[in-house]
Amino acid sequence: MSFSRTSGILLHPTSLPGRFGIGTLGEDAYRFADFLVGAGQRIWAILPLVPTGYGNSPYQSPSTFAGNPLLISLEGLVDENLLEAEVLRSAPFFPSHRVEYDRVAQFKMPLLASSFEIFDARADSSQKEEYQNFCQQNEWWLHDYALFMAVRKAHNQHPWTAWEEGIKLRRPEALEHWRKKLAREIQSQKYVQFQFSKQWRSLKTYCNDKGVQILGDMPFYVALDSADVWSHQEMFYLDATGNPTIVAGVPPDYFSETGQLWGNPLYRWEAMAQDGYVWWKRRLRATLEIVDIVRLDHFRGFEKYWEIPSNEATAVKGRWVPGPGAAFFEAVQRELELLPIIAEDLGLITPEVHALRDRFGFPGMRVLQFAFAGDGNENAHLPINHSPNCVVYTGTHDNDTVLGWFGGGSQDTTLSKEALDKEREHALKYVGTPCEEINWDFIRLALASKANTAIVPLQDLLGLGSEARMNRPGVATGNWEWRFASRMLTDGIKDRLRELTQFCRR
């Protein structure tokens, strides 16, 4: 699928301003949508909307289908008389520039449970019918997720591999026992997902009506401690206790000399192929119901993936194993037809990965922070080498900000200082300005590129340094926390971006 010439901003909703410690789907999200429109942008790029998992990562979620409860607007629930306004007036102090996930959850999750009790007691027939319809339409994933979260809560948040054998292995009598024992909590979990869905769909409709599309992100792998793995154990390489025998990662790369050991269980692709990849079809369909365009993270895994024995301490001792390849996308395409997919084709990419991407016409990614490595002008990330059918980023959520990268703020690559200095020298020559505003120089390069789609992280638009970085690959803590203040989105920035966007015919 080809995309028209557009541009947008990358900002995960958790980074929005707000009173209660984390961005939400409330008023500030609508204000940001208005800012996008005023700045001439037609794409809002986000990270996965799922609940966060280990390290607060949206890429290690307890569900690939559920929405993050922490994104629910409490003010929105008050407006619907589903939460008492008084409980918000006594909220604790939260920092405005960082998300303290544990504190936010301790404050917010009990209020969402209270909202369920109010809904259950006061909802009229039409409200209850709307809730029941949501539950019925999503029963194929929702019930297992709600049961999983309820049982995990009853086990002090221990992973499912540590539960007693009956429920761990999903024996029918154990499933029935826990369904009855935790019936109220299961309903509460479903209600929270119902409210997330309502608020998100309202925001998405608002964006779409104003000409803004949502570019979502779908992780390739799922977390071991998730409803997905627990409810579909036959689809993963697990031993008799539910622990993985082989796990995911990538070999040594730009970010790490020992590679990245992600630890996710690997798919039994041959088992998935037997039913025509039903789980994946449902996953893609569900994702495309909540976003307009999907960025497939770790696209190279569909061609070959890095398999690591589960007893290894690093990702060094692994091997490349063939993925499902073209047969997978052919099966998906027969059912879903239109596939508005962007292939995240970064890292150690082979001609075979490019061939798979090009066979289905998926645009790949170009990142300007990678553009100035090497001695010549053959680098595919260099703007002069961009093709229309690609998406150019000044940087991604895994990169430092442009300002941080240019100033050498966070040295977390395998490159030497000399190599990094050489990259920056190359960037100076290519840009051809004094680079007094290197972030705007990169934004101009991205928008002027031949690439049909250009995406700028909000941190680069605001000219922020390494302190505003979203994620450091291979680092377990301190990620996904950055937030901006509403005063940062000035009319001057909005007008400047709109003029540059119009000048570059986006």
Active-site residues: which are they? 297, 344, 398
CA 365 to chain centroid, in Å, comes to: 16
Quote the CA–CA distance of 189 and 371 in Å, as a whole number.
Answer: 45
Q: What are phi and psi of 218, to 5 degrees?
A: -120, 115
**Residue 310 structure tokens:** 């589960």
Quote the CA–CA distance of 231 and 223 in Å, as a whole number.
Answer: 12
Quote the CA–CA distance of 208 and 30 in Å, as a whole number.
Answer: 12
Quote the CA–CA distance of 331 and 72 in Å, as a whole number.
Answer: 35
Cα–Cα distance list, 131 to 120, 148, 182, 195, 273 (Å): 10, 20, 19, 9, 34
**Residue 75 structure tokens:** 């003010």
Looking at the chain, how many residues does it have?
506
CB-based burial of residue 71 (10 Å sphere; 0-12 exposed, 13-18 middle, 19+ buried)? buried
Quote the CA–CA distance of 350 and 91 in Å, as a whole number.
Answer: 52
- Taking residue 336's Cβ as centre, other Cβ atoms within 10 Å add up to 15
- Taking residue 154's Cβ as centre, other Cβ atoms within 10 Å add up to 15
Quote the CA–CA distance of 469 and 498 in Å, as a whole number.
Answer: 24
Query: Which residues are within 8 A (CB) of 4 and not within 5 positions of it... i.e. 6 or more apart?
Result: 452
Q: Torsion angle, CA of 206/211/214/215, rounded to 10 degrees?
A: -170
Pairing mode, strands 453-457 and 6-10? parallel
